[in-house]
């Protein structure tokens, strides 16, 4: 059965947004935990830890729903996906050549900056 389907990237977009929202939830939980330590909120608010985690998860869920239901954001993400699949990645030989070229260039620039630093230090030692 050879059916050709146009890949609009929906599953990749949803997966990416889900991962970002999970990361947001983790960051918010850590942030609220740090706030609780700084201001001693655990002793002032009963069940602070549970409340802060629920708020973080609900906020992240709200962000996920907002991003997925907003037509402007959805269109933008689909356009980003369509452009990303057009990228032509270099093969192994090109990558090795570019890496070696960059390493040589960085070494030359580092040597020149080191030489400039040495000469400038030597000249300043003559003046001072």
State pLDDT tens for residues 44-100: 999 999 999 999 999 999 999 999 999 999 999 999 999 999 999 899 999 999 999
pLDDT at 62: 97
Residue 125 corresponds to which tokens in the numbers above? 């030692």
Q: Are residues 80 and 111 in the same domain?
A: no
Q: Are residues 79 and 114 in the same domain?
A: no
Average pLDDT of 103-120? 98
Q: Are residues 73 and 50 in the same domain?
A: yes
pLDDT at 4: 52
DSSP state of 86: T
Q: Are residues 58 and 94 in the same domain?
A: no
Residue 1 placed within a domain: no
92 and 28 Cβ atoms separated by less than 8 Å: no
């Amino acid at each position: 059965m050879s059916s050709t389907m146009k890949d609009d990237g929906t599953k990749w977009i949803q997966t990416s947004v889900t991962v970002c929202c999970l990361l947001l939830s983790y960051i918010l939980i850590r942030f609220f935990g740090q706030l609780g330590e700084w201001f001693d909120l655990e002793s002032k608010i009963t069940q602070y830890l549970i409340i802060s985690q629920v708020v973080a998860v609900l906020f992240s869920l709200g962000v996920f729903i907002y991003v997925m239901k907003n037509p402007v954001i959805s269109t933008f993400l689909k356009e980003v996906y369509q452009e990303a699949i057009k990228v032509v990645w270099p093969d192994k030989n090109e990558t090795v050549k570019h890496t070696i070229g960059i390493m040589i260039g960085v070494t030359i620039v580092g040597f020149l900056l080191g030489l400039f630093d040495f000469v400038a230090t030597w000249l300043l030692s003559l003046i001072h």
